[in-house]
Amino acid sequence: MPDNDEVVYFLMPDGTEVSNDPRYHDEKYREHLLAQMENTGNAVEVRLAGTNEDEDDLDEEDGDETQEIERLSAEALHELTKEQLSAYAKSLKAAGVDFSTRGIKTKEDLINAILAAS
C-alpha cells in the first residue's frame, strides 16, 4: 500500500481519536489555540467578502442591489459582537464603501479600518 500524505489517526474502542502522526497533533494544537484565543478575545478570526470564493459568487449574483448603510460610530462598533461586526463590514463592502482588509487580525484592527474609510 503506497504511503500518502493524509494525516493518519486511529480510533480507540470508545471512538476516541488517537494518533502518532505529528501533523495530527499540530492540527489539534492549532484548533485548541484558536479556541483559546477566541475565548479570551485576544484575537478574532474575521472573514470578509472577497476572501471566500463561495461568498464571492453569491455576492456577484445580487451584486447590483446596493443599498444605503447606516454608518455606526466607534462606540457602537465596539459594542458589536465579532459576527455582527463581520456582517456589518460585509454590508459596507457590498454598499461600495472601500476599505482595506489587509493585515487585519483583531476586532480592533477591523474597527479602525472601517472608521478610516468613513
Partner 1 sequence: MADLTLPAWLVGDQQISGREQGFNERADVIVAADGTDLNDFYDEVLKTIRMRNESKNKLINRLSYAVTGAITSVTVPSKLAFEEASEYGQPVGGRAGGIRQFRGYDFTFYDLAFRYTWMFLAEADRAQLEMQHNLALEADQTLVFNRVMKTIYNPINVQGVGDKNEPTTVFKFYNADGEVPPAVGTFTHSGTHSHYLTSGGAQITSANVDTMMDELNHHGYNLQGGYTLVLLVAKQEADRIRAFRTSSGARYDFVPNASLYEGKIWVPNNGQYVGGPQGTVPGEIGTYGAFHVVEDMNIPTGYPFAFASGGNDNLNNPVGIRQHANPAYRGLKIIPGQRSDYPLVDSFYRRGFGTGIRHRGAGVVMQVTTNGSYTVPTIYA
Residues that bind partner 1 (CB under 8 A): 1, 3-6, 8-13, 18-22
Q: Please, which residue, 6 or 68, has the CB nearer to partner 1?
A: 6
Q: Please, which residue, 10 or 29, has the CB nearer to partner 1?
A: 10
Min. distance of Cβ 27 from partner 1 in angstroms? 14
Q: Please, which residue, 23 or 47, has the CB nearer to partner 1?
A: 23
Q: Radius of gyration of the chain from Cα atoms? A: 20
Min. distance of Cβ 28 from partner 1 in angstroms? 14
Q: Please, which residue, 23 or 30, has the CB nearer to partner 1?
A: 23
Min. distance of Cβ 18 from partner 1 in angstroms? 5
Min. distance of Cβ 21 from partner 1 in angstroms? 5
Q: Which amino acid is at 72?
A: L
Q: Determine the Cα–Cα distance for residues 117 and 7; give it in Å rounded to an integer.
A: 43
Helix extents (H) in 43-118: 53-61, 74-79, 82-94, 107-117
Q: Which residues are bridge partners to 10 per DSSP?
A: 18
Sign for the pseudo-dihedral over CA of 75, 79, 85, 87: negative
